[in-house]
Chain A
Amino acid sequence: MITIVDYGMGNIKSVENAFNFLGIETHSTSDPNELEKSSKLIIPGVGSFKKAMDNLSTLGIKPILNEQVIVNQKPILGICLGMQLMAELGEEDGITSGLGWIKGQVKKLRLNNTNLKAPHIGFNGTYYNQNNSMMFNGLNEITDFYYVHSYSIINTDSEIAHTIYGSKIVAAIEKNNIWGCQFHPEKSQTNGLSILKNFANL
């Protein structure tokens, strides 16, 4: 059973709808006991890094996630802010510690010397770097996915895909059982559905 972590942020319904379309069952919860029983986890997320980490703490979800993901090595997929939380820290509204599962920091997109609009909104060509990536299995080397964000992960060694908006942006990370996408697979038409299917098939 795929469990979507409900920590009060992110559009859980979209993720449910997308898996539903694929005929794959999911359920969402904030209950630590239920999270323990899941076979795979998804962390969605839209909004403030600081608020997200506060919510995870307040709801008592943080220790369970650490146990399930790091100790028990359960497959987990972080989407957008959900992926960013996996980094060491975020710099929105001061510095907040992240979950620290992967190297890297979350900083504002650098668009200063460009005419580019912010946030980065829309489909963008995504290049995956590694041939043995399970996340992008079955997809072309360059695939369009939907992005909507103002911050991104930098200085990570877990990057497996990038996109370009002003400069290179980390599009996805993969580190053993830990997957993350900056883009929204649940909002990226059939391209995104492939990613979700690959996750479900792990």
Chain B
Amino acid sequence: MVKKRLIFTYLFDGENCMLSRNFRLQKVGTVDWIKKHYSFDSIAFSIDELILINVSRNEDKINQFCDVITNLSRFFLMPIAAGGNVRSFEDAKAILRSGADKIILNTPLFNDRELVKKLINSFGSQCIVASIDYLKQNGDTNIYINNGKDKLDLNIYDGIRFVLKQNVGEIYLTSIEKDGTGMGFDIDVLKNAVTQSSVPIIASGGAGDFYHIADCFTKTGTSAVSTANLFNFLGNGLYETRKYLTDNGLNMAKWTY
């Protein structure tokens, strides 16, 4: 049976890797700085997939983002999904040519469905990851677009249905409320989302330690769990996480180092 996936997400603003908390960003360092201080190997051999998101608030950073993809794809011999700020067919093509296998789309799902359709026709459904960001407020769960800036009058489950109709391959679901807090995933919403989605879901937002990740898998049934928390999973953090998941009965892929 297909195994569960542990995913690491790097957030980039141009050449700078960022840390996010409730979608507010803080600079960490360039790829070279990260290579120097956080071994790529210990991450690369502990995860199943890599996600790279362009979180730049400026639209002209696509070239730098592509350079980052090219650079990292040499070390991470695994599926790489990349996106964020994709506004045209050319943006998507550039990302794929740089070394990514899948495109991540967020805002266009809701305001440029023609682009989504065009990308799926050209590259296939399995090439498109739908990223949905949501915030829980006053008992409602509302979808936000444009890097979490603009609120849509759409709740999370209607949003999932809306996105599924566009034939995407997977859904990357991020809780803005839990993002960067290290306090665990939004179990309730994820559980419901998994039940309602015909495509795999990648859970995002809230990982503080490997208990949270294991918890997310067992309580929600999600196909994959992602963390973007570079600091919480320092050094052997991801290796320890993978070991913990395996030791606790979760079906994880195995390979030799």
Contact = CB atoms under 8 A, between A and B. Distances in A.
Contact of B73 (A17, A47, A122, A191): A17
B255 A121 contact: no
Instruction: Name the residue among A11, A20, A47, A121 with the largest chain B CB count within 10 angstroms.
Output: A121
Contacts of A11: 96, 99-101
Interface string B193-205: 0000111110000
25 contacts: A11-B99, A13-B70, A14-B73, A14-B80, A20-B74, A46-B123, A117-B198, A117-B200, A118-B198, A118-B199, A119-B125, A123-B253, A124-B1, A124-B2, A125-B1, A146-B48, A146-B78, A149-B126, A150-B125, A164-B1, A187-B78, A187-B79, A187-B101, A189-B77, A190-B255
B5 A123 contact: yes
Q: Tell me if A's interface is mostly helix, strand, loop or mixed.
A: mixed
A184 B80 CA distance: 12
Instruction: Name the residue among B4, B99, B223 with the largest chain A CB count within 10 angstroms.
Output: B99
A21 B170 CA distance: 29
A106 interface: no
Contacts of A18: 77
B36 interface: no
Contacts of A116: 2
Q: Tell me if B's interface is mostly helix, strand, loop or mixed.
A: loop
A188 interface: yes
B97 interface: yes
A144 B73 CA distance: 21
Instruction: Name the residue among B78, B98, B127 with the largest chain A CB count within 10 angstroms.
Output: B78
A150 B200 CA distance: 12
Contacts of A190: 255-257
